[in-house]
Amino acid sequence: MAHFEKAKSLNEWFDQRLGVNTLNRVLAKEYWIPKDINFLWAMGMVLAITFGILLVSGIFLLMYYQPNVDLAFDSVNYTIMQEVGYGWLWRHVHAVAASVVFLIIYIHMFTGIYYGSYKKGRELIWISGMLLFVAFSAEAFSGYMLPWGQMSYWAGMVITNLFSMGSLEMNGVVEWIRGDYVPAQAFLDRFFMLHVLLIPIVILLLIGIHFGALRLPHVNNQNGEEIDFEVEAEKYRSGNKAASKVIAFANDFMAKDMFVVAVFLVFFFYLVFWNFGFAMDPVNFDPADGLVTPAHIYPEWYFLWSYEILRPFSKDIGLIAFAFAQVIFFLLPFLDRSPNAVPASRRGLFNIWFWVMLVDLIVLTAMGKLPPEGIYSTIGYVAALVFIALWIALPIITKLEKKL
Amino acid sequence: MGKAFGAVAGVGAVGALYAMKRSWDPLPSVKAAGFTTVDLSTCVANKLVVEKWRGKPIFVLKKTAEMVAAQSDAQNARDIVIGDDHYMVNIGLCTHLGCIPAYRDKKHDFLCACHGGEFDASGIDTKAPPPSPLVIPPFKITGNTLILGEEGPEFKKMKDAGIIA
Amino acid sequence: MKELFILAVVTFFSLLTYWLVEPFAHGQMHAHVDSKSFAYADLPALTKQGDATRGADTFMAGGCIGCHNVKALGMETGMSAKDAAAAYGVNPPDLSNAGAIYDAKFLADLIKNPAHAMSVEHKFDDMHPHPMPAFYGAGGEDIDQEIADMVAYMQSIAVKAEEVTPKMAFEDACGRCHAVRYTKWTQLGEMPNFKYKKDELRFQADVLDAQDAVKAYMGKLPPDLSMYIRSRNEHFLSTFIEDPQSHLHGTAMPRVGVTAHASEQVIEYMKMAGDPLAADRDEIGKNVMIYMIFFVLFAYLWKRQIWKDLH
């Protein structure tokens, strides 16, 4: 048995048993963050808070939700929305947060791409982040099934159909995923399980890895400057905080983060109370009906760009393009052949690549929602080709880039 | 021995994975509902029979000799022929927005009440808005019995001929 | 300054995306239908001045009460809602308040030619006439005068137009075909609280029969309207009620000919069914926003204090 002195304070008691002082030093007081950052660096905290909001609101929804094809719709739209005290609030908060979290994820991703924060030791941050994106997508999709409205049902039908792999016609796989020939009770139950248990566990694990991957290479800064953290930390410790290029995670960085979070929450609650239509599609307020297809079927806005890459091509090529779009962002750290981890504005051709990619994704997003007819179909087709071309061009233009 | 223990553990994991895979298979009760048999010998000519198969209405229509005589090749190609009898077997959902069309026995055609689409007695769309003919479900014929949900040779032949998309 | 510029860029692209996938895309997907203020301009104008006293006689002679109840005056056909639905496809409306709920021009045209007034002529012909027979005159010289009299009579027995409540308007104009399970409304009226399961099942079986009758009449069962206030928007509902054909050409749903006021009441009823807490949402939203001002303020003050030493 190890030797324990009698603790003189509660803090010491915990420190002896958990090493809280060491944790506090490594994770907060002496977790050095560059000072030269802007509010985009707070998006991680905004995401963490939004995830917390989703978790809490989800717990309260879970207590009244009925995962049964006959009861699900009414348990959401009547029991939760009308009977449960503040049930409507949890539901609006949950739905809006589920949509807004993707806006923040995209901002977070594009911040990473713009400032080159995915290379020079930060590859795992990027990859774990992309895994989180996939896990969040699965979480969003499975959650979208639960109200069992028309969009739930038909999105479930269309998306699970993708697993027949086009001309391979692997209908057995589709039926295995659904547990039925059409989305029905077995389908709703298993997606309910995925949504409230399995995927959240995966997300929590991935968040742990994502944060862990960040600790050693440190956060990037907005000029791509290489910082000697030892030297700068010494300046900070000696009291010369103003001259130091670093700040402590807590409370320095946290204080700025929380201010950004506060501003974000104003925007968030405005959406929750007055502008929630974008996150709660009207069509999904019609109960699921396997005999009637809605006039327009489209995914939620954050899936539109990849949906549009699927759509303009013939069945098989569309599926291949879709699969390409799903995995290609993972490879960004390896397709970017340039050694420069600096803002895109200083990287010549890559700067153009960045803005074209951003605009192209927005075009794809818009076309993905519009009916695939006439000019929209053509624009979508071109935008999908541009997307693929951009990724083919990326290794070439970054290879040509001069070392700064 | 560490590796050997790992291998044994691996075998167990594969076994567990198999059990997990099987747990996601459609249940027997679901599968049983996936096949519907229809006794065609009980059908009366020009009287529509509606069966239910996998949550969808299935139209079964035995045609009269006059109806068959008046048919074009395209219409004949969609019929199931047993002996001299022609049967139309289609999923009874309008290909426009999925309403269930009604059979008009005097005119030998289908009218969709929702948006006025029309189909002939072989399920071919004759008046917009429906964009395509009624869908033919996978079927198999044994004697006078029609099994829905299984792909028989007649169904495959229709498929090869491009009648079924 | 640089941060504000970055914020402007982020905001610009976010709003652009929002505009494209929401207002723009929905504008492209759904044709916009303007309200015609419930003027029913396609129906002939009323030229005759109706007389309610004469109208009462014509009303009786015209045979209206053979199918229609007028419960306010104690006139009943003796047919239950269930039997009436089975006989006519849909239970004919009680005419007690028809004069207040429906437009006068519409009523006049309806009496003369039901399928025309309700814009469902595509569904009926001489072989399959509309279940409500057209009125060919009750022996008077001028059929239009007789009709004007009957309309005047119906208006005289009804409540005042502004007294039409959401429940009255909905049940009369919509509730004979559409159920609203969130308000316990069925095609046969409000579902009572049953003490015995058997009675409840019996009632439900009757409702299913009535639904079958409506289904046969309409082509498919008219949808339950519980959540229509959220699945459609107010403008859609209003213009759809005014003229179903304008949104869904060829639809089996008849134009019901309600007045602008009655239409508002119908929509009010749908709000009560599908979104009754909208006012709470607004109220609580305002309080949350006031709280958020303090939240932002204190977050800012904390940040300023911490960063004082850092700059």
Q: Which residue of B has its CA nearest to A180?
A: B26
Please name the helix (run of DSSP H) or strand (run of DSSP E) that holds residue C107, with its range, or none: helix C104-112
Task: Using CB atoms, pick whichever of A103, A252, A295 lies closest to residue C14.
Answer: A103
Distance from CA of B83 to the nearest CA of A (A): 32
Q: Which of A318, A315, A316 is nearest to A387 (CA)?
A: A318
A135 vs B54, residue with greater confidence: A135
Report pTM: 0.89
Task: Give the pLDDT confidence of A183-225 residue by residue, as tens digits.
Answer: 899 999 999 999 999 999 999 999 999 999 999 999 999 998 9
Using CB atoms and an 8 Å cut-off, which of residues 43-82 of chain B contact chain A? Answer: 54-57
* Interface mutation vs chain C, best among A86, A115, A237, A370, most C CBs within 10 Å: A370
A314 contacts chain B (CB < 8 A):
no
3-state secondary structure of C102: strand
Distance from CA of C153 to the nearest CA of B (A): 36
Of the candidate ranges A31-35, C7-11, C64-68, the one whose mean pLDDT is the lowest: C64-68
Enumerate the domain spans of chain C: 38-276, 286-311
Mean pLDDT of all residues in B144-157? 85
Q: What is the pLDDT of residue B142?
A: 85
Domains and CATH numbers, chain A: 17-297 (1.20.810.10), 304-404 (no CATH)
Q: What is the pLDDT of residue B165?
A: 61
Its ipTM equals 0.94
pLDDT band at A32 (very low <50, low <70, confident <90, very high): very high
Residue B113 has pLDDT above 70, yes or no: no
3-state secondary structure of C26: helix
Angle between helices A254-274 and A87-114 (to 10 degrees): 130
Q: Which residues of A touch C232 (CB under 8 A)?
A: 282
Mean pLDDT of all residues in A250-268? 95
Q: Which of A304, A391, A312, A321 is nearest to A356 (CA)?
A: A391
Q: What is the pLDDT of residue B98?
A: 66
Whole-number Å distance between alpha carbons of A140 and A138: 5
Residue A83 has pLDDT above 90, yes or no: yes
Q: Which residues of A touch B57 (CB under 8 A)?
A: 291
Cβ atoms < 10 Å from Cβ of C293:
11
pLDDT band at A350 (very low <50, low <70, confident <90, very high): very high
Mean pLDDT of all residues in B9-22? 93
pLDDT band at B57 (very low <50, low <70, confident <90, very high): confident
Tell me the percentage of chain A whose pLDDT exceeds 70: 99
The architecture of the domain spanning B33-160 is 3-layer Sandwich (2.102)
Give how far the C-alpha of residue A134 lies from the chain's centroid of Cα atoms, to the nearest Å: 7
Is the CB of B55 less than 8 angstroms away from the CB of A175? Answer: no
Q: Which of A224, A211, A262 is nearest to A39 (CA)?
A: A262
Beta-carbon pairs below 8 A across chains A and C: 131
Whole-number Å distance between alpha carbons of A105 and A136: 10
Q: Which of B79, B107, B113, B68 is nearest to B93 (CA)?
A: B113
Is there a contact between B125 and B132 (Cβ–Cβ < 8 Å)?
Answer: yes
Task: Give the pLDDT confidence of C259-286 residue by residue, as tens digits.
Answer: 999 999 999 999 999 999 999 999 999 9
Mean pLDDT of all residues in B36-56? 83
Mean pLDDT of chain A: 93
